[in-house]
Structure 1
Amino acid sequence: MGRRKHSKIDNLEPAVKETVDEMIKTGAYYREIVDYIQSHGVSISLAAVGKYAKNLMSTLDALRLSQENFRAIMEETDRYPDLDMTDGILRLLCNQMLDAINKLPEERLSEIDFDTLSKNAVALTRAVAYKKNVDTKTRDLLENGAEQFKDLIYEAMAAERPDLYKEVKKFIKSKAKEGKA
C-alpha cells in the first residue's frame, strides 16, 4: 500500500487547519493541538501532529530562506544600479556554492564529485556570458532604433519645419558644449 502524501491535518476544514497552523507557528504544545483537532470531531495522534508540525516548520524555514535570498538580491541590485536581477541571482548562486564548499569538513571533500561541480560552474559561467551577450545585443538594438527614430524625426522636421529644425540643432549644440565644459 502506498504512503499517504497528505496528513489528516491537510484534510481539515480550512478554518480549523488555519488555526492549527497558527498554533504550531506560535509554539503551542502538540497535546493542545491534538485536543483542539479532536474537539472538531477528528481523531488524530500526537505523532501525526508532530510530523505535520515538523513539515510545516521546514516549509516555513525554506520560505524564510528564499525571502532572505531575494532580499539579498534586491539589496545587491539596489547597491549596483547597473546590476539586474539575473546578475544578482548568479552572484548569489556563486556565493552559496563557494560557501558550501568552504564549510565542508576535510573528510567530506573527498566525497565531492568535482567533475559535476566543475560542469555546473562552467554552466553557470556560460549562463553569465550568454546573458551579457543578450544584454549587449539588446542595448545595441535599442541604440540603433533610437538613432533611426532620431534621424526620422530630424528629416521630417527639416522638411516640414526648417525653423524648428535649426532651433533644435542649435539647442543640442549648446547643450553638448555645456557638457564638455
Structure 2
Amino acid sequence: MANRKHSKIDNLPEDLKAVVEQMLQSDATYAEIVQFLADNEQKVSVASVCRYARAFNANMEALKLTHQNFKMIKDEIDRNPDLDMAEAIIRITSGNVFNRLANTQEEDWDEVELSKLIKETNALIRATAYKKRVDIQNQEVKDSAIEEFKSLLFSTMAKEKPALYKELVSYLNKKKEEGLEG
C-alpha cells in the first residue's frame, strides 16, 4: 500500500469504506456500491469504484500470498522445532529451487543464463554458510557466558557457603561418574 493513490473511497469515513470493502469481497456490483454510497450521501463514480477495487484486490492477493508463505514457514518450523525462522526460509527456498531444477525440461536450459544461475546458487550457499557461522559464534558466546557464570557462582559459593559448595561438587562428581558408567 506504499504507492497506492488516495481515491475518493480512501477518503470516505472508515465505516463506509469498510462496508465498500466488504461489498467488494462479497462480489457486489460496482453499480450497487455506487448506489450504496449515494444512499449515504457520497458521490462516487463507477470508474472510481473500479480503480479502487483493482487496487484493493491486488492488496488482498498480496496478503494471501504473504499468509501462505508464513504458513509454509510455520509448518516447516512445526516439523523441525529446532529450526529458527532463517533456517526454515532457507530450507523452503532450497526445496523450491531443487524442485524447479528437477522439473526443468532439457530445452528450457537453453533459455537459462548460466551466469545468473551460478550467481543465485552462490548467493543461496553464502546465505546458508553465513547463517551457520553466526549460529556457531552465538553458541560460543553463550557457552562462554555460561562458563563465566558458573565460575562466578562457584567461587562465590565456595567463599560464602562452603558446605553447600562441597555438597554441590560432590553431587556433580557423582553424576559425572554415573554418566561415564551409564
TM-score, with length taken from structure 2: 0.81
Task: Tell me by how many angstroms 1:94 deviates.
Answer: 3.0
Q: Does 1:175 align with 2:172?
A: no
The corresponding residue for 1:80 is 80
Q: 1:54 to 1:94 in 2, by over 3 A?
A: farther
Unaligned segments of structure 1, at least 5 residues = none
Q: For residues 80 and 149 of structure 1, what CA distance do their matches in structure 2 show?
A: 31
Task: Tell me by how many angstroms 1:22 deviates.
Answer: 0.9
Q: Does 1:128 align with 2:133?
A: no
Q: For residues 86 and 12 of structure 2, what CA distance do their matches in structure 1 show?
A: 40
Q: For residues 125 and 178 of structure 2, what CA distance do their matches in structure 1 show?
A: 42
The corresponding residue for 1:36 is 36
**What number of residue pairs does the alignment pair up?**
178
Q: 1:25 to 1:123 in 2, by over 3 A?
A: same
Task: Tell me by how many angstroms 1:9 deviates.
Answer: 1.5
Task: Tell me by how many angstroms 1:21 deviates.
Answer: 0.5
Q: For residues 140 and 118 of structure 1, what CA distance do their matches in structure 2 show?
A: 33
Structure with greater contact order relative to length (CA < 8 Å, sep ≥ 6): 2
Secondary structure of 1:34's counterpart equals: helix
Sequence identity, in percent?
38
* Letter of the structure 1 residue corresponding to residue 95 of structure 2: N
The corresponding residue for 1:68 is 68
* Letter of the structure 1 residue corresponding to residue 153 of structure 2: I
Task: Tell me by how many angstroms 1:60 deviates.
Answer: 1.1
Task: Tell me by how many angstroms 1:113 deviates.
Answer: 3.8
Q: 1:176 to 1:78 in 2, by over 3 A?
A: farther
Secondary structure of 2:10's counterpart equals: helix
Task: Tell me by how many angstroms 1:81 deviates.
Answer: 2.1
Q: For residues 110 and 62 of structure 1, what CA distance do their matches in structure 2 show?
A: 32
Secondary structure of 1:9's counterpart equals: coil
The corresponding residue for 1:119 is 119
Q: For residues 30 and 20 of structure 2, what CA distance do their matches in structure 1 show?
A: 10
Secondary structure of 1:23's counterpart equals: helix
The corresponding residue for 1:166 is 166
Once the two structures are superposed, residues 40-78 of structure 1 have per-residue CA deviations (whole angstroms, 9 ceiling, x without a partner) of 333333333233223212211211121121122122112
Q: For residues 81 and 177 of structure 1, what CA distance do their matches in structure 2 show?
A: 32
Q: For residues 44 and 106 of structure 2, what CA distance do their matches in structure 1 show?
A: 45
TM-score, with length taken from structure 1: 0.82
Q: For residues 54 and 113 of structure 1, what CA distance do their matches in structure 2 show?
A: 35
Q: For residues 101 and 8 of structure 2, what CA distance do their matches in structure 1 show?
A: 40
Q: For residues 15 and 100 of structure 1, what CA distance do their matches in structure 2 show?
A: 46
79-88 vs 40-49, which moves further: 40-49
Q: 1:30 to 1:107 in 2, by over 3 A?
A: farther
16-25 vs 34-43, which moves further: 34-43
